Every structure is written in C-alpha cells, then in structure tokens.
Structure 1
C-alpha cells in the first residue's frame, strides 16, 4: 500500500492562502446612485402617512413606492433646469407639455388633467418690507408653485422667493392621519399654505393703505399720485394671484373620480372659505385705493383751481395799477390835472387805494 504524503499544517499554509486571496481580482462594487440635483429641496418616501428615514434619490424613492402599499414619494423642486426637469419627467412619466410648462413662472392658477397626472398651479405671494412707500417700491413679491399629482407621487415645482414649502412639509408630517390619504394630502397642505400667505400679505397691505390714506387727508397732503399708482399696481398683481384660484378650489371640493379622496374634501372646503376671505379683502382694498386715488386727484384739481384764482387776483390788482399808470403816461396836452402840483402824489394814492381795496375784496371772497 502506497504511503500518502503528509499534509502541511494549516499554520504553514496560511500565508500562501492569504497571498492567493489578495491576488484575486476583487469584484467591482455596484455603482452608487448619484446625489439629488441642487434643484431638489427635499425628497422623501411616505408609508401610511409617516416619512421613511433618509433622503433617497428620487428614482430610488419612486421605485420603493412601487413595492409598498399605501406609499408615495414627495419630490420638492425649486427652479429646476431644463435638463433636471426633463429627467424628472422621464422618471415619473410626465407629458412633455407639462414639463415645459413647469420651467417658467407667471402662470395663471388652474387645474389640469394630463392622462393619469393632475396638475395644480397656484400663485405664491410674499410681502416685501419697506420703510416708506415710493413710486417704485416693490410691495408684493409673487411667484408660482406647480403640483404634479400621480397615483404614487407628488412633485412640487416652485419659482420665485416667496412661498417656501419647507413649513408645509414640516406641518403636514405632524399630521400622519391626513398624510395617509396620499398625494392629495400634500395638495391640500400647499393650498392651505398659499391661502394663509394671501391673508398675511393682505394684513400688511392694509397697513400701507392706512398710511396712504392718512397722507392724502393730512393738512400737508404729502401723498404723491405716483405712490398711489404704485400701490395700486401691486394690488392688481396680488389680485391676479388670489382671484383665479377660486375656480380650481371649487372644482376640488366637488366629488370627482379623479379628485381628492372623500376624507379630504372637507379640508378643501375649509381652504375655499379662507380664500373667500382673502378675495373679499383684496377686492375691498382695490375699491378703497380707487377712492383714495380719486380723492387725491380731486384735491389736485382744487389746488390748481386755487392757484389759478390767486394768480387771477394778483393779475387784477396789477392791472389796476397798470391802467392808471398807462392813462397818465400818454402825455396829451389837454389831460386833466396834468399840470397840477399834487397830481403825481394823488395818482400814487389812487393806485395804492385801488390795490388795497381789491386785495381786501379778494381775501373776503376766498381768492387770496
């Protein structure tokens, strides 16, 4: 029987095993998902109304929602570039018209349906602090926010500095029962936030109106027409943000198969009531500003009339002196009192008497 060679102890074989293990090519690690673009303010996955930990890439977040029931992803964007918005559109299957529409601001508040995606457009508003109102003061800063609502996602695209949505996200996350209703809960929170901002801006504008009204009816009347026109332009811009939102909100309160779930309709009704308050206040401010403007224009007309009366009064006084001096400056040989010793002082006395008499008459009639 052949003798088997003795095995090398494992302690002696260990260095060789380590060298062979280190010499093997390591398997390439899976490429990491790139970070969210700078335009992404926040991205989160919500399951049963509660946020999952972390801030994943929106592609991974959307993939997670497809594997979980009662979940959706909320992607918040601020002034995205065309490249970023195009990639987002491909990921969430948004139509090209909506993607192009979301790249610019200045849209009218509206509610649109594009396939399985609902687009809600709202205007944002913010009050610009200023020490005094001038002919070029910016009083109200407006922008817009577009809300894309799908079955498993909600995308908010905001333009402008006003209407930041971070407080909206923080507030609705403290209400998991409402957030569990899905993407439409985010739409409700955004609408409620915008209407609250409208009421807040309306309160500040009311203070500006009170200051303008005081200046118009003060004794010195320091208010300038340019200031009133500037404030009116700002209020008109504010009206364009507030009034058109009534139609989309009214539509959201109606029972529709592609609308909010029944549990959220009472909340939208409440927001509609708040918006009605804002609409009434803005309309009242516009009417009040029209009255202030008309009053100031009437004051200017009265002031111009008073100036014309003063000019006419002094012209009449000067005309009396000119008439006397003109008559006695003709130097005809047979003029009465031409060679009188006291003719010159008498003429001056007549001129002075005529001036004083006319001045008193004009003062008594209110022309001077």
Structure 2
C-alpha cells in the first residue's frame, strides 16, 4: 500500500505526486523523490522498479522479505535492510519482528515497510523541518530512517534490562527456581533476536563513513558515524546483558544445587538418628535366652531412655554442624 509519494527540490517539499509521474521528476536535476510503501504487493514493487530503475536482485530481496540486516551497493544505488522490533500485543513479553527495505539512489528514496505497525511519518516531518540538511539529498534521508530504527532499539533494551533486574531479585526467593530459569531463558532469546538485528547492521553502517563510501552518502558521513556509535553502544549493552543472564542462570542453578544438598544433609542426618534407634531395637529384639536385660525389672524403660539419650545427642551434634 502506498503511504506517500513526495518530490523535494533544494531541501524543500515541492509536491505530492502520483506514482506515474515519478520517473519524470526523478529525471529533473536538483529533485529527488521520497516514496513510502507498507506491505507492498509484487505488482507495486514491479511498478516501482520500472519508475526508479531498481536493480532486480534488490527488488527480489524486498519481495521475499525476511532478509538479514545489510547494506548492498548496486552501481550508484544502495539497498538497505533493517529489522523493526516491536512488542507483540497478542503475546506479552515477545517481539513482533518487522522489516524495512530502503532503496536509495542519487535522486530517490523508496522505503518498503513489512510486518510493522510503526510508521516513519515522524522521520519525514523531521527532515522537512531541516531543509538545510535535506539538501544533502537521498543520503540524509537514509540516515534519518536508519537513525529512527536504531533509536527504537533503546527502549527495548531498557525494558529487557529492567526485566533482568526483577528476575535477579527473584533468584534468591525460595521455590522460584523453575520460573526464574524460564524467565531468564526467555530474556536470553529476546536478547539474541535484538543481537541479530544490531550486529549485522553495525557491520554494514561501518561502510558508510570513513575511507571509501558510496557517493550518495559522501556528504552525510558524520551522521552515519553517529548511527554507528549508537549501534556500538547497543551492541555492548546486549553483550553485557547476555553475560549477566548467563551468570544469573549459573547462580540460579548453583542455588538449586545448594538447596538439594541441604535436603540431602537433612535426610542423611535423620536417617542416621533412626539407624541408631533401629540398631538398639534390633539387638534387644534378638530371641536369645541368655540376655541379662530380659529379666531386669527396669530393662524396658532403661532401654528407651538409652535410645532417646543417644539419639538426642546425635541430633544435637547434627544441629551444631548445620545439618538440621
């Protein structure tokens, strides 16, 4: 579906135009067209390919979707893929993984957003408020779109860090081990999804500043360097979070092992106490005629007192040792 199709000249909005007139304005010096699509159909992509002269391989990637974040160069044009992560309203705590494909040429920008409810109208408004920057052309628009995508990663990682702090506090709560492990593993999965969105994009953006860069981005290198700095920061936060999650899982498992050892100690201590009483009873329960205690008037209470006394002493020693 077409969202908007706008032509700009010298950093200012010229007009909203129909798709059929795109090729006409693209051919005019000093103009560039910015078109936005969402969940584009194959027919719409084919139409855009004809209007802009897009490379067939890039169009094929956009048509199939589910691409790894990347930036590819086709002659004087670029094709960028970025992942869009949004909270899934139907499954709390999960992500909805969307994608935005951006075709950039010397005088055009085409963004195709798929499986995402968050648009980029704010990006267009921002660019139109800064005509002196918009004069840089399509390269600056690519930066603005990329910056908007990267900025959306920060609230996600902050939410993950907040969840991780809550789980870390629950780790030391009794009988919460199983739930803590499930929650930690779920956090680790979401961190991996975010990592898969950030790490490849960081590698791709590094090609847009310093050294040899595409001509389209030559005047916007400083801005792409800023995006790269944000991605480096996010990537470091993700790595730190994953390490913390792994440590928390190990601590959780260690606490489970300690609890099991405590239970084992208690069972062993009680088993020892009952073994003592069983030994005494077993000895006096033997059917021998010549047993001096059998004819003694106070034999029975004396035996009970002896058993209780020995068991109490053993219980006392286990208590001092911390087993009971």
Normalised to the residue count of structure 1, the TM-score between the two structures is 0.80
Q: For the Cα contact (< 8 Å) 1:126–1:142, is it kept in 2?
A: yes
Match of residue 194 from structure 2: 238
Structure 2 matches for 1:1-368, cutoff 5 A? 39-54=1-16, 56-66=17-27, 68-127=28-87, 138-161=93-116, 164-217=119-172, 224-256=180-212, 258-368=214-324
Q: For the Cα contact (< 8 Å) 1:70–1:180, is it kept in 2?
A: no
State which drifts further: 82-91 or 320-329: 82-91
Q: For the Cα contact (< 8 Å) 1:145–1:158, is it kept in 2?
A: yes
Deviation at 1:109, TM superposition (A): 1.8
Q: Deviations over 1:279-321 (max 9, x none)?
A: 2222211122222121111111111111111111111112122
Q: For the Cα contact (< 8 Å) 1:44–1:61, is it kept in 2?
A: no
Q: For the Cα contact (< 8 Å) 1:127–1:140, is it kept in 2?
A: yes
SS in structure 2 of the partner of residue 69 of structure 1? coil
Q: For the Cα contact (< 8 Å) 1:139–1:231, is it kept in 2?
A: no
Deviation at 1:362, TM superposition (A): 1.1
SS in structure 2 of the partner of residue 154 of structure 1? strand
SS in structure 1 of the partner of residue 293 of structure 2? coil
Following the alignment from structure 2 to structure 1, what is the Cα–Cα distance between the partners of residues 262 and 155? 42
Following the alignment from structure 1 to structure 2, what is the Cα–Cα distance between the partners of residues 193 and 249? 14
Following the alignment from structure 2 to structure 1, what is the Cα–Cα distance between the partners of residues 193 and 278? 58
**Aligned CA distance change for structure 1 residues 41 and 333 (closer, same or farther; 3 Å):** farther
Q: For the Cα contact (< 8 Å) 2:26–2:33, is it kept in 1?
A: yes
Q: Structure 1 unaligned segments of length 5 or more: list them.
A: 1-38, 131-135
Q: For the Cα contact (< 8 Å) 2:208–2:214, is it kept in 1?
A: no
**Aligned CA distance change for structure 1 residues 192 and 353 (closer, same or farther; 3 Å):** same
Deviation at 1:147, TM superposition (A): 0.9
Q: For the Cα contact (< 8 Å) 2:22–2:51, is it kept in 1?
A: no
Q: Which runs of 4+ in 1 moved over 4 A?
A: 127-130, 218-223
Deviation at 1:129, TM superposition (A): 8.1
SS in structure 2 of the partner of residue 43 of structure 1? strand
**Aligned CA distance change for structure 1 residues 275 and 342 (closer, same or farther; 3 Å):** same
Deviation at 1:176, TM superposition (A): 1.3
Q: Structure 2 unaligned segments of length 5 or more: list them.
A: none
- Greater Rg by CA: 1
Following the alignment from structure 1 to structure 2, what is the Cα–Cα distance between the partners of residues 283 and 93? 41
* Residue correspondences, number: 323
Q: For the Cα contact (< 8 Å) 1:112–1:120, is it kept in 2?
A: yes
Following the alignment from structure 1 to structure 2, what is the Cα–Cα distance between the partners of residues 58 and 329? 103
Q: Relative to total residues, which structure has the larger helix share, 1 or 2?
A: 2
